[in-house]
Amino acid sequence: MGYYLEEFEVGRVFEHAIRRTVTETDNVLFSTLTHNPAPLHIDHEYMRTQSEFGRPLVNSFFTLGLIVGISIHETTLGTTVANLGLEDVRFPSPLFVGDTVRVETEVIAKRESRSRPSNGILTLEHRGYNQHGALIASCRRAVLMLRAPAATSKSEAKRKTPKKNEPRKRGSS
């Protein structure tokens, strides 16, 4: 089970235990399932003769999904309500078939939701590295998270309790 919003500490870095070696099947299957026929992912001859890399690059959206996916078990499994967005997505070094990916996740920010008392917004930065330690991908992910049940009850009570000298709304007792 993942952490509730209150259990995350800004600045904490998770070094995820799961590592994954990327296969040819991963790259070809992902590229074809997402209708991406770009030769830079699936054409060995083209990449050997027409590119600076000499071999196919792993599809960057597979790479992005992999670095986020590896992080889930140790961070947000079962406590995510929804992904709100990704930003600052970067692929500074290529990823190739046969490379082994390791991931770390840093907690960048967290706050209570103003409109949903049982939720909060968490910002995580995911970073993926190959077996040589080269950064191959990074992104910031905003996540709508569950708050701990006790924190939710306190927050809802605070919102319902009128402040001193605050006029009561018409129809309230």
pLDDT band for position 134 (cuts 50, 70, 90): very high
Q: Is 31 helix (H, G, I), strand (E, B) or coil?
A: helix
pLDDT of residue 70: 97
pLDDT of residue 155: 57
Q: Is residue 166 domain-resident?
A: no
Q: Is residue 5 domain-resident?
A: no
Secondary structure tally for the chain: helices H, strands E: 5, 6
Across the chain, what does the average pLDDT equal?
90
Q: Is residue 173 domain-resident?
A: no
Q: Is residue 32 domain-resident?
A: yes
Q: Is residue 157 domain-resident?
A: no
Give the C-alpha separation, 151 to 147, whole Å. 6
Q: Is residue 46 domain-resident?
A: yes
pLDDT of residue 127: 98
Give the C-alpha separation, 4 to 122, whole Å. 10
pLDDT digits (tens, 9 = 90+) for 106-125: 999 999 999 999 999 999 99
Q: Which whole number is the average pLDDT over 45-68?
A: 97
pLDDT of residue 154: 59
**What CATH number does residue 66 fall under?**
3.10.129.10
Q: Is residue 162 domain-resident?
A: no
Residues spanned by the domain of 29? 10-151
Q: Name the percent of the chain lying above pLDDT 90.
A: 84
Number of domains within the chain:
1
pLDDT of 92 strictly over 70: yes
pLDDT of 170 strictly over 60: no
Q: Is residue 136 domain-resident?
A: yes
pLDDT digits (tens, 9 = 90+) for 140-159: 999 999 999 876 655 555 55
119 in Cβ contact with 169 (< 8 Å): no
